């Protein structure tokens, strides 16, 4: 049997739940293994509520767009990430150096030249 789509799996499980069809009968009708059916059922019960969350599908769409992006777009994205990361590293080093200056050096900086 060909691989079933997510929608087909959902319909098979929902039909069993709504019409109160026993798992064995449903599996026989559609030619699927009982273990597969149980996995689909458990997945639906565990994750079904997520479709009502406001962010549902947005993360997948962003990932899909990045995967479809051309090589130039991916290169620009990689460069942008590297620039941001290097900026954070420089900022962190500057903060570290500022916090670890010796008290003598700080006192000399604070003195007013005559």
Do 48 and 5 fall into the same domain?
A: yes
Indicate if 1 and 30 belong to the same structural domain: yes
Tell me the whole-structure pTM to 2 decimals: 0.48
pLDDT digits (tens, 9 = 90+) for 42-61: 999 998 888 788 777 677 77
- Tell me, yes or no, whether 2 and 37 share the same domain: yes
Res. 112: pLDDT tops 80:
no
In this prediction, what percent of the chain has a pLDDT beyond 90? Answer: 51
Query: What is the sign, positive or negative, of the torsion defined by CA atoms of 104, 107, 109, 114?
Result: negative
Six-digit token pair at 93? Answer: 């080093």
Q: Which domain covers residue 26, as residue numbers?
A: 1-53
**What does the buried/exposed string (b/e) look like for 19-35 if buried means 16 or more CB atoms within 10 Å of the residue's CB?**
eeeeeeebbeebebeee
- Tell me how many domains the chain contains: 2
Residue 8 inside a domain? The answer is yes
Q: Are residues 2 and 43 in the same domain?
A: yes
* Burial environment of residue 4 by CB neighbours within 10 A (0 to 12, 13 to 18, 19 or more): middle
Q: Tell me, yes or no, whether 48 and 75 share the same domain.
A: no
- Does residue 63 lie in a domain region? no
What gap in Å lies between CA 2 and CA 30, rounded to an integer? 11
């Amino acid at each position: 049997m060909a691989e079933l789509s997510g929608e087909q799996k959902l319909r098979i499980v929902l039909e069993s739940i709504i019409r109160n069809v026993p798992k064995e009968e449903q599996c026989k009708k559609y030619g699927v293994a009982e273990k597969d059916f149980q996995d689909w059922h458990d997945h639906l019960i565990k994750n079904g509520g997520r479709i009502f969350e406001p962010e549902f599908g947005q993360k997948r769409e962003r990932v899909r767009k990045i995967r479809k992006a051309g090589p130039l777009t991916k290169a620009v994205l990689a460069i942008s990430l590297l620039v941001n990361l290097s900026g954070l590293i420089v900022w962190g080093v500057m903060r570290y150096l500022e916090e670890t200056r010796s008290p003598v050096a700080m006192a000399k900086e604070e003195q007013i030249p005559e």
